Amino acid sequence: MAARATRQQIVDAADELFYGHGYAQTSFADIAAAVNISRGNFYYHFKTKDEILDAVIEKRLEDREWLLARWDETSDSPAARIACFIRIVIVNQAKIMAYGCPVGTLTAELAKLEHPSKNKANAIMALFRDWLIRQFIDLGHEARAEDYALHVLGWSQGVATLAQAFKDEEYITREVEKILGWLDGLVPGRAAKT
Amino acid sequence: MAARATRQQIVDAADELFYGHGYAQTSFADIAAAVNISRGNFYYHFKTKDEILDAVIEKRLEDREWLLARWDETSDSPAARIACFIRIVIVNQAKIMAYGCPVGTLTAELAKLEHPSKNKANAIMALFRDWLIRQFIDLGHEARAEDYALHVLGWSQGVATLAQAFKDEEYITREVEKILGWLDGLVPGRAAKT
DNA sequence: GTCTATACGGAGATAGAC
DNA sequence: GTCTATCTCCGTATAGAC
């Protein structure tokens, strides 16, 4: 098998396993079993476990960049784009209820490990923040763009955490509706509503 | 030293270490070093690591019950009590920016480990939820009490996650002010404000 | 109650055959 | 590129002396 393909399989499997079981708790044996290669073969592609983590973080970053770029292309208003972001908690409902937010839980874990790559993981969170800031600027809220962006991002993290703890679909739906209402009030030319 | 005292020291040290480094990442050696006892002595007090985790969760639960009871006693209005809850993110700012919320990060970690005690950990989150529900009922919002309680609890989890990721004190302050404003609008006899 | 010594398994990582 | 075999370290856990 081509090195590229195997490497890709390793990264994909590690991504899933890190999300489902956590980074520290996922062993080489787990990843090797998922990809159906030997533990030894592993080290041809990655010299250390940290290298795999870096590759996973980079993959996640690229995945999210691609997703945001798609929303930029397909939605024609900033409010519609922000709504896309808000609705990921519904789109990914099942996984979020099982494992929480992949970005939030990874940054939390790496912070506790004081892992060298924690800043790289935080960059994914920053990617969302900066994208949201741009949307709120486009929406005409330049002065409060960062405030609003962090509000939405924090909202998503809170919903993911509680969705995981309580497995309550109704809660997710209600929260999405509430924040979409809030967002609606920020669209220029609309009356603000509570 | 009395068995009780040593046991208590172990639980206290484990509580701190589980919070700071995570459960899976904290070894017996770490806890033993913090308490200044030998690893062997450990097993006189706890037969397994899971037993320590259970003791830590119980301690955390009792600590929070005590805290909530104090707020019940010292604050004379439900709105003031909810405000006490909201302000913990400021009171515990430094630790939250370093390690996130002790309750949220533990439930997230145990869920990924599929640890037998994960439901016990979730009970701490449920304790806050149920207490908040009672406050919102007292505030006269019986029909939406659970909705509002989860809103505040989710808010606190989101703020904790982002505070940890971005280390931004201003953000915490702004969020506290915003949600206190929201809470203010729910107090009977006040005009709702955006 | 607390210690030292030790068993045992699983982790990350390496060496070298194919 | 992929494998098997092996090394070393560190984790939980146990045994038995003091």
For the question of whether the overall pTM of this predicted structure is more than 0.85, the answer is yes
Q: Which nucleotides of C are covered by protein (CB under 7 A)?
A: 1-6, 10-16
Residue A193 predicted with pLDDT over 90: no
A71 falls within a domain: yes
- What average pLDDT score do residues A24-32 get? 97
CATH number, domain containing residue B89: 1.10.357.10
Q: How many CB pairs under 8 A join A and B?
A: 126
Assess if residue B60 is contained within a domain. yes
Q: Please provide the DSSP assignment of A29-90 as one string.
A: HHHHHHHT--HHHHHHH-SSHHHHHHHHHHHHHHHHHHHHHHHHHH--SHHHHHHHHHHHHH
Q: Are B56 and B14 in contact (CB under 8 A)?
A: yes
B194 contacts in chain A (CB < 8 Å)? 185, 192, 194
Place of tokens 């505070």: B163
pLDDT confidence of residue B189: 80
List the Cα angle A159/A161/A165 in 5-degree steps: 115
Q: How far apart are CA B174 and CA B168, in angstroms?
A: 10
Contact residues, chain B, for A123 at CB < 8 Å: none
Q: How far apart are CA A1 and CA A91, in angstroms?
A: 34
Determine contact: A164 vs chain B, CB below 8 A. yes
Indicate the average pLDDT of chain A.
Answer: 96
Res B3: pLDDT? 82
- Kindly report, residue by residue over B141-182, the tens digit of the pLDDT: 999 999 999 999 999 999 999 999 999 999 999 999 999 999
Please tell me the distance from the alpha carbon of residue A132 to that of residue A154, in angstroms, as a whole number.
12
Distance A25 CA to D9 C1' (A): 17
The DSSP 8-state label assigned to residue A2 in this structure reads: -
In a domain, B20, yes or no: no
Residue A20 lies in a domain: no
- B25 CB closer than 7 A to any strand D atom: no
Q: A43 lies in a domain?
A: no
| Domain-located, residue A75 | yes
Q: Within a domain: residue B23?
A: no
Label each residue of A123-145 as H, E or C. Answer: HHHHHHHHHHHHHHHHCCCHHHH
The model's pLDDT over B103-143, given as tens digits with 9 standing for 90+, comes to: 999 999 999 999 999 999 999 999 999 999 999 999 999 99
Other CB atoms within a 10 A radius of the CB of residue B107 amount to: 26
Q: Which of A26, A115, A162, A186 to mutate to test the interface with B (most CBs of B within 10 A)?
A: A162
Domain assignment present for B177: yes
pLDDT over 90, % of chain B: 94
Average pLDDT over residues A145-171: 98
Query: Within 7 Å: CB of A24 and strand C?
Result: no
Q: What is the mean pLDDT of residues A73-99?
A: 98
Residues of B within 8 A of A161 (CB-CB) are: 104, 107-108, 154, 157-158, 161
**A98 lies in which domain range?**
54-186
Confidence of residue B4 (pLDDT cuts 50, 70, 90): confident
Counted domains in chain A: 1
